[in-house]
Structure 1
Amino acid sequence: MEAIIMTLTNGYEQSDREQKLNIVNLPSLEAEAKKIIPTGGFGYIAGGSEDDWTLRQNTAAFGHLQIVPKALSNIEQPSLATHVFGLDLKTPIMMAPTAAQGLAHSQGEKDTARGVAAVGGLMAQSTYSSTSIADTAAAGNGAPQFFQLYMSKDWTFNESLLDEAVKAGVKAILLTVDATVDGYREADIVNNFQFPIPMANLTKFSEGDGKGKGIGEIYASAAQKISEDDVRRIADYTHLPVIVKGIQSPEDALRAIGAGAAGIYVSNHGGRQLNGGPASIDVLPAIAKAVNHQVPIIFDSGVRRGSHVFKALAAGADLVAMGRPVIYGLALGGAQGVQSVFEELNHELEITMQLAGTKTIEDVKHAPLTHFNYAE
């Protein structure tokens, strides 16, 4: 019988596992993680909004695009290295900003930062992290990180977070614009879920600590009116690139760029916000066409395979982010589990690149895709 390795915090069982994982594929991690993450925490992590239609479509819609195999290409050992936002990265796959990682592991974001740094990747911290901006940055040991801002109605609170992020050395600010209210998340309602673990950034900066609150209460302090002026204000205040996260249409992408955005982040929040909206991969090509390389594009939502990463890059993304699979790896193996998740996806991507005749990530960005909607 496997020994239980966990920490008990406010009655909530947090994994303490620290081990490399033998991963066959990322989708298989969800069922394994469900065995060790408490029901309420797992529902918060895994769930989408309403009946999860958009959440499911995010992954299924990758089938709408197909990769063209390329023979006689005279290449071997594809390189995953890439340069974007002025950063040299060993992989185009990054960690999406994901809240409350202490629900999965006692080390939370600190272990995620360690695992991402180990593969030479980029991590984004969330405003609603379990660990502080400074502690998460320190755990990354100099590896590049972004900070994602859920803008508050209280600008003094926003300034305090941005000050901390700048002091910690983050390379850019991700401004989330698709979560002015929380999506209707039925799993949290069924589980009567309240955050059992304090959120370090809320504890430090006078908005309570998040413990004992539901997601709706947390979002109650979030700004519900966000405009182009806010993009400019954050850029002027921090002197950092501001990347607008939650873009799902060409019109919004161009509006963000007009407001001074240094990047566009195509995402539907992993199907957690507007249910019934399109899959992210379905809207990416049109957004990329409109942006036309004016600024880099980050993409997330539904990424589970190396071929998904390839398709997103070929459809116009410069970086591809993932959230839930990393959190499952965190629960199952801590920092080493996070590293294992990235290594598996990197391995799948390398295979896909070889078979598609693409030597570099830049080659992938120019690879042809075909379009055919198979019956589901």
Structure 2
Amino acid sequence: MTYYTSMEEHPIEILNLPSLEERVKANLDRGAFGYIRGGSEDEWTLRENTRAFDDLQIIPRVLQGLSGADLSTSIFGIPLKTPVIEAPSAAHGLAHVKGEVDTAIGTAMAGSLFSLSTYGSTDLTEVAAAAPGAPQFFQLYMSKDDGFNAFLVNKAVKAGVKAIILTVDSTLGGYREEDVRNHFQFPLPMPNLAAYSSQDGAGKGIAEIYAAAKQDFVPSDIEKIKALSGLPVLVKGIQSPED
């Protein structure tokens, strides 16, 4: 079955995120929209995370003698124009034919930092070339195959990424009811998988793809990736204070 992704190229006026979501829903394949928007099970965690974020408040300071706000900051010595960075997410090609290339370009134009997922729709070398000089991180889903891990990390280092994001909380795919309802499987290949083997992710659900991922994480895995890359390693997915 052929999957048709958007090829539109034009400016859009964004009023707010909820209204943008409704516009996307009306113009995107149902299964793709469900995967991008949805969460696991009955989406309790998704709702709670949103609610918890809404509870955070920015308290303005007055009488400080300031005539303009400066949002610039830095991370690992990398200067950024904004404290908001782009988190890694899979398969941008579901939404647009240029996939992560356009996301990386837009992020660079905003003076922010782009993070590419192992399960992206675009090869990491191509993403790096799309925004030369702009800072990028690479998010690694460790595989049971150490050869695959070394291959991807070395390729990311050669592409010039500034850090590795190591995801440790996705050892199994969540039970995504929206995907089950829509019988969703990834319609597009994942080049970062295909570059190493014939397994490119197309025609599989997220649970099948995660089945090849490492489950038995230990702290030494962080050291392994740090030694392999020579870069800072951010551990993504820590939820318990004990951890």
With normalisation by structure 2, the TM-score equals 0.96
Q: For 1:169, which of 141, 154, 160 is the aligned residue?
A: 160
Q: Find out whether 1:208 has 2:199 as its counterpart.
A: yes
| Cα distance between partner residues in 2 of 1:76 and 1:211 | 52
Call closer, same or farther: CA 1:68–1:95 in 2, change over 3 Å: closer
Alignment gaps of 5+ in structure 1: 1-9, 253-376
Deviation by residue 1:175-197 (Cα, 9 ceiling, x = unmatched): 00110001110111111111110
Q: Find out whether 1:97 has 2:81 as its counterpart.
A: no
The root-mean-square deviation of aligned C-alpha atoms, in Å, is: 1.2
| Cα distance between partner residues in 2 of 1:35 and 1:74 | 47
**2:135 maps to which residue?**
144
**Greater fraction strand:** 1
The 4+ residue runs of structure 1 with deviation greater than 4 A are: none
**2:230 maps to which residue?**
239
Aligned-pair CA distance for 1:170: 0.3
| Cα distance between partner residues in 2 of 1:15 and 1:30 | 15
- Larger RCO, structures 1/2 (Cα 8 Å, 6+ apart): 1
With normalisation by structure 1, the TM-score equals 0.63
**2:208 maps to which residue?**
217
Q: For 1:125, which of 109, 116, 129 is the aligned residue?
A: 116
Q: Find out whether 1:193 has 2:187 as its counterpart.
A: no
- Count of aligned pairs between the two proteins: 243
Deviation by residue 1:57-93 (Cα, 9 ceiling, x = unmatched): 2122234333334332321220111111110111111
Secondary structure of 1:198's counterpart equals coil
**1:88 maps to which residue?**
79
Alignment gaps of 5+ in structure 2: none
- Aligned amino acid, residue 103 of structure 1: L
- Aligned amino acid, residue 193 of structure 2: L
| Cα distance between partner residues in 1 of 2:132 and 2:56 | 38
Call closer, same or farther: CA 1:121–1:130 in 2, change over 3 Å: same
**Greater fraction helix:** 1
Deviation by residue 1:17-49 (Cα, 9 ceiling, x = unmatched): 222221111222111111111011111111101
**1:23 maps to which residue?**
14
Percent identity over the alignment? 57
- Aligned amino acid, residue 211 of structure 1: A
- Aligned amino acid, residue 112 of structure 1: T
